[in-house]
């Protein structure tokens, strides 16, 4: 087994709110190797983004991490001091967010925002020269396949289209992502043709630079051509993990099976059944399998005990007591 | 044939005046919807597909062109339409979180259309609301709850229930599932398909999701910058796409099975972005992004021709003779 770049182990995250404690993440584990492309899929509200925010250490202030470790390049991210954390953000890991409109500050020109990041991450030792910073910023925009980088540096975000804004966010993250890039639904808010362009660009950049990637998406088709290993999340738990081809050809968890069936196919054949019900409330969630209330094959014991992840070979792991009989 | 046509749109135009010029949101669009049929309109954001739906609903009147609904001319804003016709024509919006009043209970939301059209004797409204809720598979106790407390699927079910309350014959579905997760989307779509059979409904289904369109629509039209560039029956449309834009869209659809991959046309890599509706390129509006662009494309607007039976396309690659 290759050296892992990132290893999240048994991570739990709770949020303290007025009504009580939201138990969101419960025992999440995942690992990303060097230059590995990993995907996480799941429906809205299942904790994909929360997991990544925990990795970046940018959780909201009311979040509590009672349990778990996040090993990154040999150190535990959860125990790092502010200085070291900032250093990692500057020089090693970065995140692209879902909505580029919200990720860019509307009152500053793209150039000012981008140059700030360049100054911060590229020139840590000696005092940066303005011309150097600008050249580097232009270079970054070019690597994100943006035409007329000089004009873009002098534009405000609202003067650009959604696809261009997302390319700028990619350029920004490239300034500091030397090892790990986290992409949180990078194409979801864009049109299908633009999403296709963005995903191809990302893939090319990641392969050229030899980065590790975690790609988050609820669009199952979009991750398929991109990643080599897939995690499926449901209600704050990792329910299945497998190499991409294995997961699509042999889904084992009842939730994964239903999720794959629910995607309408280009070949027709009618609209499949969905999954009845919805994600349980994190406020009142019990100790049993979190999918049990929507699962057709749930037995009584499913509601009492949470299933551990069973290893079924080929790097395929599933958290379900009845994975064999479904 | 025309006896079965429930909605006919001819030469529909909708221009908006802005301080920076005229936006031609819909520019010469014609199509028809038969009884019990689902017609799909697909396109990227800014292609004018929602505006077509809104003009059909009368949210604003058309700039030019005619809309005929069940033999009556409805080429005007909703304020001047006869109430009897308004009842027969309903809409479901994309985002149920903003189309439902957060300060009304689900019961009140479902009751309003019944009261507006006097569809139940006084004192029987609550009963009718409960019947509606059974229909959309919501527990009756939800009548006193507010939409904000519910999940996206339940909210969209309420929006569909509200549209069905007046027993319409035609519903505009404006991206009814794009705000929802796939598992919920499947449930809502199945519900819509069931209602179509049960209540003899016709749908104008607006979406940007081609895979979904393949499974719900009998005919599909592709819109680009206010024009329909290709229109055909669904099987023909997906097995034999003609317009380069259609091929580009189909190439970009993320798919999950090998059979789907095989169905895609030769890969046309998507380039460029949709132009702003303020400065539509001259000639064929798609020509700056088109891999097969010719001299004529930037000069002459291609006219729509019937390339095959019931398969219409507007592109210079397919000359009319």
Higher pLDDT, B99 or A323: B99
- Name the residue facing A163 among B151, B260, B273 (closest C-beta): B273
| B142 occurs within a structural domain | yes
In a domain, B111, yes or no: yes
What confidence score (pLDDT) does residue A2 get?
A: 54
The partner residue sitting opposite B186, judged by closest CB among A191, A267, A272, is A272
Is B223 inside a domain boundary?
Answer: yes
Fill in the DSSP letter of residue A141: H
Domain membership of residue A182 (yes or no) is: yes
Measure B43 CA to nearest chain A CA, in Å. Answer: 9
Q: Is B300 on the interface with A (CB under 8 A)?
A: no
Dist. CA B288–CA A9, nearest whole Å: 50
Sheet hosting strand A20-33, strand order edge to edge: A20-33, A4-17, A63-72, A75-76
Query: Does the residue B167 lie in any domain?
Result: yes
For residue A260, list chain B residues with Cβ-Cβ distance below 8 A.
Answer: 256
B181 at interface of A, judged by CB pairs closer than 8 A: yes
Residue ranges for chain A with pLDDT beneath 50: 1
How many domains, chain A? 1
Give the whole-angstrom CA distance, residue A231 versus residue A241: 4
Does residue B184 form part of some domain?
yes
Give the closest of B208, B212, B238 to A264, CB-based.
B212
> In sequence order, what DSSP letters do the residues of A274-302 get, joined into one string?
---S-PPPTTS--SS-TTGGG-TT--GGG
Ranges B22-36, B175-189, B204-218: which has the least confidence: B175-189
Q: Which residue has the tokens 């939201």?
A: A22
Residue-number span of the structural domain to which B154 is assigned = 5-241
What pLDDT score does A64 carry?
A: 94
Give the whole-angstrom CA distance, residue A105 versus residue A169: 11
Q: Hey, is the C-beta of B190 within 8 angstroms of any chain A C-beta?
A: yes
Tally of domains in chain B: 1
Q: Name the residue of chain B whose CA is nearest to A271's CA.
A: B215
Give the CATH number, domain containing residue A97.
Answer: 3.40.50.300
Mean of all residue pLDDT scores within chain B: 91
Q: How far is CA A311 from CA A239, B67, B100, in A?
A: 12, 61, 46
The domain spanning residue B147 has which CATH number?
3.40.50.300
What is the spatial order of strands in the sheet that A212-217 belongs to?
A93-96, A180-184, A212-217, A37-41, A229-234, A237-243, A317-318, A310-311
d(CA A201, CA A219): 18
pLDDT of residue B2: 46
In a domain, A214, yes or no: yes
Q: Are B90 and B172 in contact (CB under 8 A)?
A: yes
Band (pLDDT 50/70/90 cuts) for residue B202 is very high
Strand residue runs (E) in B164-304: 170-174, 202-207, 219-224, 227-233
Q: How far is B44 from chain A (nearest CA, A)?
A: 6
Read off the pLDDT of residues B39-84 as tens digits, 9 standing for 90 and up. 999 988 888 999 999 999 999 899 999 999 999 999 988 888 988 8
Residue B20 sits at the chain A interface (C-beta within 8 Å): no
Would you say residue B229 lies in a domain?
yes
Distances (CA, A) of B45 to A289, B175, B185, B208: 40, 11, 20, 8
User: For the segment B14-38, what is each residue's pLDDT rounded down to a tens digit?
Assistant: 999 988 888 899 999 999 999 999 9
Between CA B128 and CA B81 the distance in angstroms is 26
Q: Is the model's pLDDT at B1 over the cut of 60?
A: no
pLDDT of residue A127: 66
Digit-coded pLDDT (tens) for A229-269:
999 999 999 999 999 999 999 999 999 999 888 888 888 87
Looking at beta carbons, which residues of chain B come within 8 Å of A191? 44-45, 208, 274
Q: Which of B183, B209, B271 sits opposite A274 (nearest CB)?
A: B183
Domain coverage including residue A64: 4-102+178-227
What is each CA distance from A65 to A28, B2, B16, in whole angstroms? 12, 66, 53
- pLDDT of B151 over the 90 cut: no
**Residue B299 within any structural domain of the chain:** no
| Residue in B9, B49, B11 with CA at minimum distance from that of residue B303 | B11
């Amino acid at each position: 087994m290759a050296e892992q770049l990132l290893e999240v182990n048994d991570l739990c995250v709770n949020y303290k709110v007025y009504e009580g404690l939201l138990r969101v993440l419960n025992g999440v584990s995942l690992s990303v190797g060097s230059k590995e492309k990993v995907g996480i899929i799941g429906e809205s509200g299942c904790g994909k983004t929360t997991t990544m925010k925990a990795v970046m250490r940018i959780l909201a202030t009311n979040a509590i991490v009672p349990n778990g470790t996040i090993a990154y390049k040999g150190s535990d991210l959860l125990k790092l001091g502010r200085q070291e954390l900032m250093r990692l953000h500057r020089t090693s890991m970065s995140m692209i967010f879902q909505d580029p409109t919200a990720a860019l500050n509307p009152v500053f020109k793209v150039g000012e925002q981008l140059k700030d990041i360049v100054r911060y991450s590229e020139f840590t030792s000696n005092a940066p020269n303005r011309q150097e910073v600008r050249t580097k910023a232009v270079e970054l925009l070019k690597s994100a396949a943006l035409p007329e980088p000089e004009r873009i540096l002098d534009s405000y975000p609202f003067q650009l289209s959604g696809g261009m804004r997302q390319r700028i966010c990619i350029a920004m993250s490239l300034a500091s992502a030397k090892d790990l890039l986290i992409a949180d639904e990078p194409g979801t808010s864009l049109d299908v043709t633009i999403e296709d362009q963005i995903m191809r660009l990302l893939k090319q950049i990641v392969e050229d630079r030899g980065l590790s990637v975690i790609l988050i998406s609820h669009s199952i088709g979009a991750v398929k051509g991109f990643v080599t290993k897939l995690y499926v999340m449901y209600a704050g738990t990792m329910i299945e993990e497998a190499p991409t081809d294995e997961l699509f050809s042999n889904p084992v968890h009842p939730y994964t099976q239903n999720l794959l069936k629910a995607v309408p196919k280009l070949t027709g054949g009618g609209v499949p059944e969905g999954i009845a019900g919805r994600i349980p409330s994190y406020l009142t969630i019990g100790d049993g399998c979190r999918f049990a209330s929507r699962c057709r094959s749930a037995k009584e014991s499913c509601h009492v005990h949470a299933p551990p992840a069973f290893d079924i070979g080929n790097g395929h792991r599933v958290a379900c007591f009845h994975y064999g009989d479904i | 044939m025309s006896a079965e046509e429930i909605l006919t749109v001819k030469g529909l135009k909708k221009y908006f005046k802005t301080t920076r010029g005229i936006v031609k949101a819909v520019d010469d669009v014609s199509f028809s919807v038969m009884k019990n049929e689902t017609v799909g309109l697909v396109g990227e954001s800014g292609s004018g597909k929602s505006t077509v739906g809104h003009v059909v609903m009368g949210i604003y009147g058309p700039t030019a062109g005619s809309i005929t609904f069940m033999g009556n001319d409805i080429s005007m804003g909703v304020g001047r339409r006869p109430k009897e016709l308004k009842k027969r024509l309903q809409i479901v919006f994309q985002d149920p979180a903003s189309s439902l009043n957060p300060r009304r209970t689900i019961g009140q939301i479902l009751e309003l259309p019944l009261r507006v059209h006097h569809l139940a004797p006084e004192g029987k409204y609550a009963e009718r609301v409960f019947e509606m809720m059974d229909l959309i598979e919501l527990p009756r106790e939800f009548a006193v709850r507010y939409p904000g407390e519910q999940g996206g699927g339940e909210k969209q079910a309420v929006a569909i229930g509200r549209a069905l309350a007046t027993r319409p014959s035609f519903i505009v579905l404006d991206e009814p599932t794009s705000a929802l997760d796939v598992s919920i989307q499947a449930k809502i779509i199945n519900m819509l398909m069931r209602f179509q059979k049960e209540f003899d409904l016709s749908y104008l289904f607006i979406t940007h999701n081609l895979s979904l369109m393949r499974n719900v629509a009998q005919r599909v039209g592709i819109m680009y910058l206010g024009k329909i560039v290709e229109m055909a029956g669904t099987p023909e449309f997906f097995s034999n796409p003609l317009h380069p834009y259609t091929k580009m869209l189909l190439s970009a659809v993320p798919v999950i099975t090998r059979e789907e991959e095989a169905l895609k046309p030769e890969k046309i890599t998507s380039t460029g972005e949709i132009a702003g509706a303020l400065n539509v390129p001259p000639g064929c509006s798609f020509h700056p992004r088109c891999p097969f662009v010719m001299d004529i494309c930037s000069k002459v607007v291609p006219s729509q021709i019937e390339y095959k039976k019931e398969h219409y396309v507007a592109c210079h690659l397919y000359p009319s003779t």
